[in-house]
Amino acid sequence: MVSRALDARRARPRGRAVSCEKVLAALEDGIGLARGYAYQVLIDLAQPWKLPIPLIEGIGNFGSRGNDAPASPRYTEARLSPAGQVALAAERAQIAPVPIGMINGSTHREGIRPPLRPAAVIDAIRQVLLRPRLAGPAITAIVFPPCFITGCTVTGDLAALAAGQHAELGLHARVTVTDAAHVRERVARAAVPGRRPPGFTRDPGGPVIVIDKFPPYTNTDDAGRSIARRAEEYSWHARHPQLGALTGLPITDLCDLSSRGDYWWACLPADGTPPEAARDQLLKVHGVSIYITTRLPRPLPAMIRTWIRAHQHEDLPGSLTALETALASRQQRRLTATR
């Protein structure tokens, strides 16, 4: 749909991008898809923190993980990503199918199918092609656990999920106890003027708590505000110390050090508070940890085998190689852009 509209305008990898407004107009004229809905779909396919394999490269303000909304489509442009071009070729039967839908899942749009690691899914398919009788637990060991692109930690009943049952997964940011030197070094690497952690140099040897790798569906601005509110001292804390200890956070000097798509916060444990205790309490804040309901359409080994059987007479090794090449190209471009 969106990919076809981009391809029709020659908005391909490494080529020129086209105005999103023109793409939306073409979709409305062609299939009657409302522009507001179509733009949201386009944004989902382009935002790099939502999908393991983005199908579109967005140019311009496509929003942030906080409260920065995407710009109007008249001010943004898009083109196919390398993987998007491979997916379109598979859709047109120019190459064999690729398992992008299996990898991306649906939780980015409040569905229940979690995303999986691209290299792991490709490896599992290759292993089953070579050894059709490969045991189910071996397939599961190759693919699991689910992988969210931001690198958050995943907890929950993974065995139930692999068996095709409902499972509640916890997605947790990384909360690390480190020191001021590490924080200063990371700020220096980001090379963002004026980003200096306030108060972190009072005791250079003291512990600092860093929060990063947030779950992909967390609004980082809202999470930061929630942490800041719970860290404040309120008059009723003295009257209700137990409730204050339960709802408050023993931290100070919370600082947002996010830059260039790298979302992270740093803070100090309050005087007398063991840093590990502050870390454990931070992990309970909504946004630092979130919980989602997930389920696969069938047990994971059966899902892999069913997909292979449906396309067993096609050149699956060739299409998998094309997808790997596209993913490697994207990774190389990302590394180049960060240098």
Domain boundary among 272, 287, 302: 287
Same domain? For 274 and 321 the reply is: no
Average pLDDT, the chain: 88
Per-residue confidence (pLDDT) for residue 339, from 0 to 100: 45
Residue 299 preceded by cis peptide, ω within 30? no
pLDDT per residue over 157-194, tens digit each? Answer: 999 999 999 999 999 999 999 988 888 888 877 765 55
Q: What is the CATH number of the domain that holds 261?
A: 3.30.1360.40
Q: Is 81 contained in some domain?
A: yes
DSSP string, 5-60: HHHHTT--TTS--EEHHHHHHHHHHHH---HHHHHHHHHHHH-TTT-SS-SEEEES
Q: Is 127 contained in some domain?
A: no
Q: Is 282 contained in some domain?
A: yes
The pair of structure tokens assigned to 239 is 């009257």
Q: Is 181 contained in some domain?
A: yes
Question: Residue holding tokens 């596209």?
Answer: 326
Distance CA 183, CA 322 (A): 40
Same domain? For 267 and 331 the reply is: no
Q: Give me the domain span that covers residue 77.
A: 2-97+314-338
pLDDT per residue over 321-331, tens digit each? Answer: 999 999 998 77
Q: What is the CATH number of the domain that holds 93?
A: 3.90.199.10
Same domain? For 238 and 318 the reply is: no
Same domain? For 333 and 274 the reply is: no
Distance CA 26, CA 43 (A): 16
Same domain? For 199 and 260 the reply is: yes
On whether the pTM is more than 0.75, the answer is yes
Q: Is 76 contained in some domain?
A: yes
pLDDT per residue over 216-248, tens digit each? Answer: 999 999 999 999 988 876 554 555 555 555 567
